[in-house]
Amino acid sequence: MSENISYREIKKLIGTIVEVTMDRPLGSKHPKCGFIYPVNYGFIEGITAPDGDDLDAYVLGIFEPVEKFTGKCIAIIFRDDDDDAKLIVVPKDKDYSDEQILALTEFQEQWFKPKVVRK
């Protein structure tokens, strides 16, 4: 079992290449809340987030369901009102503004106070 990673360590992932394993691919339904995922959503194996679960990641710029995706972490969503962090992972040649990231993740982040953090 790995130790929980600190927010400072999570920020070091910005700009790096990571592999995301999808547990909620695009088009899947959230098991408790019932909403449909409009993006691929998964986790980074072997890294435990501050909330004690695997470190989560939104995969943007891939428009079909995938099981795994290797891409560049361009930002992180931290929540002011929740002990959680979400990586923003995209294809190496893509980028999104903070506003675009918040719009694309609003389906889940609307219930929190998210902020996009870049280096």
Q: What's the predicted TM-score (pTM) here?
A: 0.93
Segment 50-74 mean pLDDT:
95
Rounded to whole angstroms, the Cα distance separating 9 from 19 reads 17
State the pLDDT at residue 3: 58
Looking at residue 23, what is its pLDDT?
A: 95
Do residues 41 and 58 touch, judged by C-beta distance below 8 A? yes
Listed in sequence order, the residues at least 6 apart from 12 whose beta carbon sits closer than 8 Å to its beta carbon are none
Rounded distance, CA 98 to CA 85, Å? 15
Confidence check: pLDDT of 75 > 90? yes
Ordered by where they begin, the domains of the chain are: 7-117 (3.90.80.10)
Q: In this structure, what are the phi and psi dihedrals at residue 47, rounded to the nearest 5 degrees?
A: -120, 120
Radius of gyration of the chain (CA): 13
C-alpha span between 28 and 77 (Å, rounded): 21
Average pLDDT over residues 13-42: 96
List, in sequence order, the alpha helices (H) in 1-119. 7-11, 98-109
> 55, 60, 69: which is closest to 105 by C-alpha?
60
What is the pairing mode between strands 114-117 and 85-90?
unpaired
Give the residue with greater pLDDT, 53 vs 13. Answer: 13
For residues 29-49, give the mean pLDDT: 93
